[in-house]
Amino acid sequence: MKTSLLVSAMMAGLVGLGGLAVTGTAMGQDVIRVGAPLPLTGPLAPDAAKQQQGYNLWAETANAAGGIKVGNKRMKVEIVYVDYQSNTPRAVQAAERLITQDKVDFLFSPFGSGATKAASSVSEKYEMPTIAATASSEQVYDQGYKYLFGTFTPNQTLTEPLADMVKKQAAGVQRVAILARNDLFPLAIAQEMEKSAKKRGMNVVFFDKYAIGTLDHSAALAQVKAQAPHWIFATGYINDLAIMKKQMADLKIEAPVVTMITAPAFKEFIDATGKGSENITTAAWWHPAARYKGKDLFGTTENYNKLFAAKYKIEPDYSPASASAAGAILQMAIERAGTIDRKKVRDELAKMDDMTFWGPVKFGPTGQITSLEPPVIQIQGGKHIAIYPPAIRQGELRLGVK
Amino acid sequence: MLWLQILANGLVLGGLYACIAAGFSLVWGVLNVINILHGSFIVLGGYLAFYLHMHFGVHPFVSILLAAPLFFALGYALQRSMINRMIAAPVLLTLTLTFGLDLMLSNAMLTAFTADFRKLILDPPLGIVSLGPVVLPVDRLLAMVLALALTGLLYLLLSRSRIGRAIVAVRMDREAASLMGVDVKGVYAITFGLGALMAGASGPLLAMIFPISPLTGPVYLGKAFVICVLGGLGSVPGAMIGGLALGLVESFGALWFGSEHATTLSFVLLIVVLLVRPEGLLGRKGYA
């Protein structure tokens, strides 16, 4: 069996090889280059594709308008992508390489809270203004860094309105079961949910973590079922939650309220689970039903939806919208600074207090946005219906998930 | 009664695992080739079922009948044209070859199908059966039965048919088999074809239960690897026992230690087996 150990070691080695592949082109005088390390291949590839859609739409829209206004001239935008293959340590290398070798002017963070936190130390070291489009966990922003800005509000801004709503509109909900992916963001938001539920006098009767890459949840779900919960709260990414929903149906698990974060906000989740997705609730940082009138290049939310649908033939969800918002916010800061000087642009970001298609933008002292009011969304009739906040409400909370 | 449900879950899962591993174990045991392509073959079989179902309404069970000869031919051709050329080389070289082929296949699938997770949704769904307090989904149950049937057929083929005996003979002693007039290269190609057949045929079964994506290939491969070491190489009953053991360990592990440790537990078991009984639970006695 020595060979099998050797073989395993070698397999690990082979997988680890590969290196970084860069896309992107010419370096010009009148071009603003923004680096974007993304997990374009590997398990997070579906999520990276959404980010790329958002960044590309921003760059194309800005360039179609002649570019970004910097003082008296206009500069085109170019996004330099680096694939870090869903491998966090490599995301850090990618960020450093973008700054030191590709000499980008600004940076977008890699995907998710974990990789964003890991890469933020590099951008801080080089004093590189960096916008994180997919990092919500407060632990990302607690290092006292000055150059990191995030477009997602903290996790409890998602769980608090959700718990409020369930408490008010579904009086019998007492027993809560929580099942979380053992990963920075999914676990952090599950812990916030536990707090939000307990604060409102609900009982958390089950709390379990599952490993990244789990395909079979039936053992955990059998235990959930034995607890007969009123509210099942599950966290993970698209693949995790699509599998889990199917296996819930297989075990005949029903509950008045089933909430999943993040996947149900994506159309892919509805496609993957069919009728099983009906009445599942989720919370996100944005919904296309919002009606903000922004001062950024996209202007209104409606206009953003229109541009997105024209290019990609689908309605945007919060994920690419956040990427576009990161670009739009960076553009506003550059235009106000009138220069691409990193320090000045950073100062403009820090004092920004403005409306965009993404919502009101104001960053707190840690760099994380504080001004959004994240919506609660429910899948009704195979569509995403905003049920909170009242300003954008399209329907009422419905109970009963089969 | 919870443990009854967990037991049932574990057994059903174990049946699927046995099916994943049988072909992999056969190829490893007979050819001494670690076929890294195995996981991607399963995924490709899944896509075949997915597209046949979407465009022509073909039931995944029917797709198996199509997948079986198709993948056998693919495996046979691959062995004849490439792997046979370096079959006498050390195991790491053939591993590198199949690893390279797997990189090509999985990247081709990423390009053709994208990394999106797709789900084969049966309408109406097959539903569930309740046996007292135990609830079992019909698709898993049928898939398990079929998986066991496929594995059983492979066992019969190896133990009863002329070609099966030739495969076993080559497995036991290549030179002696060759001296007895067995066409060793032909047997290798047929064996590899059978391994690919088992992978391709389990694809449609798994497609009913798990989402399909090129990214799940390595997951299946990892399971097959563990099962083979648990059960013993090159033996069909070994794959069956290894599969059932893994299914049960994962299920009860999740119950006793929490889901996050289910996989850890299966690897701890793997290490224990390697230390205590390195030839696997069923050893190398029964070559079929």
- Write the pLDDT tens digit of every residue in A247-290: 898 888 999 999 999 889 888 888 888 888 999 999 999 999 88
Q: How many CB atoms lie within 10 A of CB A329?
A: 25
Q: Can you give the pLDDT at residue A12?
A: 45
CB contact under 8 A, B115 and A41: yes
Chain A residue at shortest CA distance from B210: A243
Res B145 pLDDT > 60:
yes
Query: What are the extents of the domains in chain A?
Result: 21-153+289-362, 156-284+375-392
Q: Please check whether residue B67 is in contact with residue B201, taking contact to mean a CB–CB distance below 8 angstroms.
A: yes
Q: Please check whether residue B191 is in contact with residue B26, taking contact to mean a CB–CB distance below 8 angstroms.
A: yes
ipTM computed for the complex: 0.76
Q: Which residues of B touch A240 (CB under 8 A)?
A: none
Rounded Cα distance between B36 and B28, Å, is: 10
Contacts of A27 (CB under 8 A, 6+ apart): A33, A103
Q: Report chain A's mean pLDDT, rounded to a whole number.
A: 89
| A9 reaches B (C-beta below 8 A) | no
- The DSSP annotation for A199-227 comes to HTT-EEEEEEEE-TT----HHHHHHHHHT
The torsion angle over the Cα atoms of residues B228, B231, B232 and B235, rounded to 10 degrees, is -90
Q: Can you give the pLDDT at residue B283?
A: 64
Q: Which of A:41-60 have CB within 8 Å of B?
A: 41-43, 45-46, 49
How distant is the Cα of B259 from the closest Cα of chain A, in angstroms? 5
Query: What are the extents of the domains in chain B?
Result: 12-128+135-215
How distant is the Cα of B182 from the closest Cα of chain A, in angstroms? 28
- 3 state DSSP class of B188: helix
Res B240 pLDDT > 70:
yes
pLDDT digits (tens, 9 = 90+) for B76-126: 999 999 988 888 788 888 899 999 999 999 989 988 887 777 888 887 777
* H-state helical runs in A283-399: 301-312, 318-337, 342-350
Rounded Cα distance between A135 and A150, Å, is: 7
| A143 reaches B (C-beta below 8 A) | no
CB contact under 8 A, A210 and B119: no
pLDDT digits (tens, 9 = 90+) for A31-74: 999 999 999 877 788 789 999 999 999 999 999 999 999 999 99
HSE toward the beta carbon, residue B239, CA cutoff 13 A: 33
Q: Can you give the pLDDT at residue A29?
A: 58
For tokens 């049988």, the residue is B22
Chain A residue at shortest CA distance from B247: A216
A116: part of which helix (H) or strand (E)?
Answer: helix A112-125
- The residue ranking higher by pLDDT, B160 or B278, is B160
Task: Out of A14, A210, A239, name the one closest to residue B259 (CB).
Answer: A210
How distant is the Cα of B117 from the closest Cα of chain A, in angstroms? 6
- Interface probe for A, chosen from B4, B35, B94, B117 (most Cβ of A below 10 Å), is B117
pLDDT digits (tens, 9 = 90+) for B22-54: 899 888 888 888 899 999 999 999 999 999 999
Q: Which residues of A touch B255 (CB under 8 A)?
A: 219, 222-223
How big, in percent rounded to 5, are the helix, strand and coil portions of chain B? Answer: 75, 5, 20
Q: Please check whether residue B117 is in contact with residue A46, taking contact to mean a CB–CB distance below 8 angstroms.
A: yes
Rounded Cα distance between A59 and A121, Å, is: 26
- 3 state DSSP class of A180: strand
Radius of gyration over alpha carbons of chain A, in Å? 21
Among A57, A181, A173, residue whose Cα is nearest residue A112: A181
Q: Which residues of B touch A243 (CB under 8 A)?
A: 210-211
Res A163 pLDDT > 90:
yes
Report how many Cβ contacts below 8 Å link chain A to chain B: 125
Q: Which residues pair with A300 in a beta bridge?
A: A293
How distant is the Cα of A246 from the closest Cα of chain B, in angstroms? 8
pLDDT digits (tens, 9 = 90+) for A65-106: 999 999 999 999 999 999 998 888 899 999 999 999 999 999
Res A1 pLDDT > 80:
no
pLDDT band at B284; cut points 50, 70, 90: low
pLDDT band at A402; cut points 50, 70, 90: confident
* DSSP 8-state code for residue A38: E
pLDDT band at A2; cut points 50, 70, 90: very low
Task: Return the CATH number of A21-153+289-362, one of 1.20.120.50, 3.40.50.300, 3.30.420.40, 3.40.50.2300.
Answer: 3.40.50.2300
- 3 state DSSP class of B88: coil
| A250 reaches B (C-beta below 8 A) | yes
| A208 reaches B (C-beta below 8 A) | yes
Contacts of A383 (CB under 8 A, 6+ apart): none
Q: Can you give the pLDDT at residue A117?
A: 94
| A10 reaches B (C-beta below 8 A) | yes
How distant is the Cα of A21 from the closest Cα of chain B, in angstroms? 15
Q: Which residues of A touch B20 (CB under 8 A)?
A: none
Task: Out of B36, B209, B229, name the one closest to residue A4 (CB).
Answer: B229
CB contact under 8 A, A249 and B125: yes
Q: Which residues of A touch B136 (CB under 8 A)?
A: 250
Q: Which of A:288-347 have CB within 8 Å of B?
A: none
HSE toward the beta carbon, residue B127, CA cutoff 13 A: 3
Q: Which residues of A308-325 are buried (b: 16+ CB within 10 A; e: fewer)?
A: beeeeeeebbbbbbbbbb
Please count the residues of chain A.
Answer: 402
CB contact under 8 A, A226 and B2: yes
Task: Out of A10, A209, A272, name the one closest to residue B92 (CB).
Answer: A10
Rounded Cα distance between A370 and A357, Å, is: 16
Signed CA dihedral, A159, A165, A168, A174: sign only: negative
pTM for the full model?
Answer: 0.80
Q: Can you give the pLDDT at residue A199?
A: 94
Q: Which residues of B touch A241 (CB under 8 A)?
A: none
pLDDT digits (tens, 9 = 90+) for B178-222: 888 888 888 889 999 999 999 999 999 999 888 888 888 988 999
Among A282, A305, A278, residue whose Cα is nearest residue A383: A278
pLDDT digits (tens, 9 = 90+) for B243-257: 999 999 989 988 888
Q: How many CB atoms lie within 10 A of CB A141?
A: 26
pLDDT digits (tens, 9 = 90+) for A309-363: 999 999 999 999 999 999 999 999 999 999 999 999 999 999 999 999 999 999 9
CA dist A81 → A21, A33, A38, A165, B192 (Å): 9, 10, 7, 40, 41
Q: How many CB atoms lie within 10 A of CB A131?
A: 27
Q: Can you give the pLDDT at residue A14?
A: 43
CB contact under 8 A, A7 and B34: yes
Q: Please check whether residue B101 is in contact with residue B37, taking contact to mean a CB–CB distance below 8 angstroms.
A: yes
Q: Which CATH superfamily is domain A156-284+375-392 in?
A: Response regulator (3.40.50.2300)
CB contact under 8 A, A216 and B13: yes
Rounded Cα distance between B7 and B24, Å, is: 26
Q: What percent of chain A has pLDDT over 70?
A: 93
Residue A262, preceding bond cis, omega within 30 degrees? yes
* Angle ∠(A381,A266,B13) on CA atoms, nearest 5: 90
Residue A68 has phi, psi (to 5 degrees) of -90, 135
Q: Can you give the pLDDT at residue B232?
A: 82
The predicted model gives B137-155 an average pLDDT of: 85
Residue type, A4: S
Q: Can you give the pLDDT at residue A17?
A: 41
